[in-house]
Structure 1
Amino acid sequence: MKFLAGIFIQLLVLGICAAEKPNVILIMADDVGMEAFSCYGSLDYQTPNIDKIGKNGVLFKHCYAQALCTPSRNQIMTGRYNHRNYPGFGKLDKNEITFGKMMQDAGYVTAICGKWQLGRNRELINHFGFDEYLLWWLENKSERYNNVGELIGNGELLPGDQGEYGPDLMANFALDFITRHKDKPFFLYYPMILVHDPMDPTPDTQDSARLGVTLKDRKKLPKEVRSKMVKDNFVDMVHYMDKIVGKIDAKLEELGIRDNTILIFTGDNGTHSMISSNTKMGEIRGAKATLKDAGTHVPLVVSWPSQGVKGLVTDQLIDFSDFFVTLAEAGGGKMPSDRKMDGVSFLPTLQGKKSEQRKWVYSAYFNKFTLLRQDFIRTQRYKLYNDGSFYDIPNDRQEKNPISNPQGEALKVKNFLEAEMKIVSQTTRVIPKALYQGKKPKKKKSKNKI
């Protein structure tokens, strides 16, 4: 009887621990910098649902991603800088441990929905720790928005061309997953399709002049008309993205699980360069695929009603290696011990606790277009590149005027960053020649899809 009683107590304890685990939802928008959100001072867009997450939790003013989608996805999913594991564009090394696998091993039911673009093999999804999925561009790239094309969900091919709006299908999958697993700890990773180009109307677009106008049609229009249509469509896309986030937040409330759910929203890189946005800081043109501030500075808002602080706006530095360790700490996951991990948890900040915070963020970026490796390391104010160029970002957001002879505080920070970059950039990994050939940048034709 004592033996049975012991088993019962152990099972009871395990059940309590499982019940105490927070649900975690990580939403990552595609191609949108911090200048496109009203909570970050945007004047062109209204994002009340995303603003609400920050208002009821924490708004991080200094979160930095990589400059392009695949590099960011590698870093956020593995908690490691790209020079340690980046295999090339559109890939994720099968030997990497993702936060999906880590959360799965910690007792979570896991799912991913949205954009994949990390290897054309259905078996990869379960291999990387996701129990359920609905993904665009898993095997073949197709239309992502209006009259969405091929999707693959839980191993089944969905051919598309049914007149459906892709982001709605992803949102419905997310809502269904949350509903079915409301009584057990779940982890949902939602790398959104929105707001990547082409800039198309959404189901909520009211302007009849823009409805039904395809990318091919737009190319025939005068440049001024075309540019205005692109910007108007992008505004609608941002608003629709915010609407989807609001639906997820509302579903958590409806199910009575919002208090014990950590809801995270961020973006994978900066906005496309065809989009210029008016903000309280002035006009900011998107700089996706570059390491400029507007190419890597992304939003990050997080809330956890039952255990998190409310209404905190912080200058704390965050980079994409920090998400893995934060989720591990929140969900009781185990950190890999057989490889170098780069993140610093921001969970203490969410909970209002004091902790050691990172003093810099770092990026090792393998440029898809030039095949050159570019590194930078920065604080909230100063930014140093591996070629020695040094910038005062708040006073030079376009990075046109490098500081040639820093003095005082600037010199002190530069020396500090130089020393830190020398340490963090070291790796025993042999960089594949196909990834980094050291070629001079080639002049490329613009591929702006407007």
Structure 2
Amino acid sequence: MKPPTRRSLIYLFGIIAIAMAASCKRIETLSPASESLAAHNKALLAGPTKPNVIVILADDIGYEVPAVNGGISYQTPNIDQIANTGMRFTQCRASPLCSPSRFALMTGKYNFRNYTTWGVMGQNEQTLATLFKSAGYTTLAAGKWQFDGGDASIHALGFDDYSVWNPYEIASSGSQGSNYKDPKVYQNGAYEPDTSNLGKYSDDIFTDYVKNFIEVNQANNFFIYYATCLCHAPYSPTPDDPAFATWNPADRLNDTAYFSSMVRYMDKKIGEIITKLQELGLYENTVILFSGDNGTPHHIFSVVDSTAVEGGKGSTLEAGIHVPLVVSWPNGITSPGTINNNLIDFPDIMATCADIAEADVSGFGTLDGISFYNQLTGAAYTPRPWSYNYYNPHTNSGNNKLREWVQDSTYKLYITVNNNYRFYNIKNDPNELAAIKKRNMTPGEKTIYNNFKSILTTMGP
């Protein structure tokens, strides 16, 4: 690992801890609810309309970034608000890189079923958007697309409207244009003229598009998938930074000292969407789900509980796959401030959305998700017993090998290409430095090892 730069150290240790006011909200740890509460919530759901749903997927935001998860390096009051008015999940896992994660999120399937090429999704896939369209929702994609195919694919994959960056997966990332200042934005089947966005910022454009879509469709049920460009590299000034006015994005400035302000600006944009919903009287009947697509990048150092933590994007370690997940459903459905310690896999979001929208997904083929809808509503539930990942990134990088594993929140078992197994206690050994040998396993660990091994023999292609 390269040592941090002097500026990174200044950025890391010069931050001011955010004063956290004592909350008057009651914080609960989730446990299976009674049938009477389930019946109560069922009655609440029997309103005149289904809830609107907004899925916000941040780029390169690991679990440690939102302040509500214990970090003190960044200001995230709006993400924290989603958690404090809803449910905060502490054990959500994605893939180590964005494209595999987005496939799992969008299609509800583990990667071995449909992920073959970086950033290219087949137009025949059933997605979150086709799910919501089948249930009568109007749909929007905003921000980073990264599924290829431009206008044809965006519509084929279920979206009625869109304003995106990266509509085609082009070999040279430079030809995709800036993802921040002077952005290359794709709408209505074509790129907007470069001159129309000079001096503008991508996530300003996309957030405004989202807010306009909400206003136009306020009488309809709508689903919005907003994949922010923030906070991916290049690390650069936002419109709230003095350096933004003179910054030339063609210089490809990449200074990690700007990461903090990028997080703050991303949170600000989320706040604008919340405010729009409140102004239109839609907030109470809108489910907002926020997550990150993979761990924070290497060389981004964050402080959590007085400890400096380095991001692990691209790694199968916890730092690369442990992501934030907060869900707000204010209309008396989700108890405010609930903490959920159950396992969540990205395909679970599809299953949960199907329950929220009352959508029929019987024609979607094999789906791998387990719905956490009952956990949101307070009904009885059975938590996911294990988390699985089939990670074959299909990149041009040197770290392009298949990794496959099963885990819970304490133990993790890999199967190697040679059908060998490596077993770790990821709580005690988060960097996976010392695999547990069979002869040293406790009886309980042997039971977990054998269970995980049996799962691995049945998963995969």
TM-score (ref. length: structure 1): 0.85
Give the aligned partner of residue 265 of structure 2. 240
Of 124, 130, 136 in structure 1, the residue corresponding to residue 153 of structure 2 is 124
The alignment's C-alpha RMSD in Å is: 2.0
Structure 2: runs of 5+ lacking an equivalent = 1-44, 169-174
Aligned 8 A contact 1:377 1:385 in 2? yes
Q: Is 2:431 the counterpart of 1:398?
A: yes
Of 202, 225, 229 in structure 2, the residue corresponding to residue 166 of structure 1 is 202
Of 418, 421, 425 in structure 1, the residue corresponding to residue 456 of structure 2 is 421
1:424 and 1:309, CA in 2 relative to 1: closer, same or farther beyond 3 A? farther
Distance across 2 between alignment mates of 1:62 and 1:412: 22
Aligned 8 A contact 1:276 1:285 in 2? yes
Tell me by how many angstroms 1:215 deviates. Answer: 7.8
1:178 is matched by which residue type in structure 2?
I
Tell me by how many angstroms 1:338 deviates. Answer: 5.6
Distance across 1 between alignment mates of 2:47 and 2:125: 26
Give the aligned partner of residue 378 of structure 2. 352
Tell me by how many angstroms 1:395 deviates. Answer: 1.6
Distance across 2 between alignment mates of 1:300 and 1:357: 16
1:198 and 1:338, CA in 2 relative to 1: closer, same or farther beyond 3 A? closer
Q: Is 2:327 the counterpart of 1:302?
A: yes
Aligned 8 A contact 2:65 2:302 in 1? yes
Aligned 8 A contact 1:326 1:346 in 2? yes
2:274 is matched by which residue type in structure 1?
D
1:50 and 1:356, CA in 2 relative to 1: closer, same or farther beyond 3 A? same
2:285 is matched by which residue type in structure 1?
N
Tell me by how many angstroms 1:391 deviates. Answer: 1.5
Give the aligned partner of residue 5 of structure 2. none
Tell me by how many angstroms 1:120 deviates. Answer: 3.5
Give the aligned partner of residue 157 of structure 1. 191
Aligned 8 A contact 2:234 2:253 in 1? no
Tell me by how many angstroms 1:17 deviates. Answer: 8.0
SS at match of 1:173: helix
Identity of aligned residues (%): 36
SS at match of 2:54: strand
Post-superposition CA distance 1:259-314 (Å, at most 9, x none): 11001000111111121111117222111112111111100000111122211101
Tell me by how many angstroms 1:251 deviates. Answer: 1.0
Q: Is 2:160 the counterpart of 1:115?
A: no
Post-superposition CA distance 1:131-161 (Å, at most 9, x none): 000010113511011122x211132421335
Aligned 8 A contact 1:74 1:82 in 2? yes
1:218 and 1:39, CA in 2 relative to 1: closer, same or farther beyond 3 A? same
Q: Is 2:95 the counterpart of 1:66?
A: yes
Q: Is 2:307 the counterpart of 1:285?
A: no
Post-superposition CA distance 1:329-362 (Å, at most 9, x none): 1011111346211000111111111211110111
Distance across 2 between alignment mates of 1:237 and 1:192: 11
Distance across 2 between alignment mates of 1:30 and 1:146: 17
Aligned 8 A contact 2:411 2:424 in 1? yes
SS at match of 2:101: helix
Tell me by how many angstroms 1:27 deviates. Answer: 0.2
Distance across 2 between alignment mates of 1:382 and 1:347: 26
Give the aligned partner of residue 326 of structure 1. 352
Aligned 8 A contact 1:18 1:185 in 2? no
SS at match of 2:283: coil
Within 5 Å, give how 1:186-205 maps onto structure 2: 186-205=222-241
Aligned length, in residue pairs: 399
Tell me by how many angstroms 1:62 deviates. Answer: 0.5
Post-superposition CA distance 1:177-212 (Å, at most 9, x none): 111111110000001110000000111124x59963
TM-score (ref. length: structure 2): 0.83
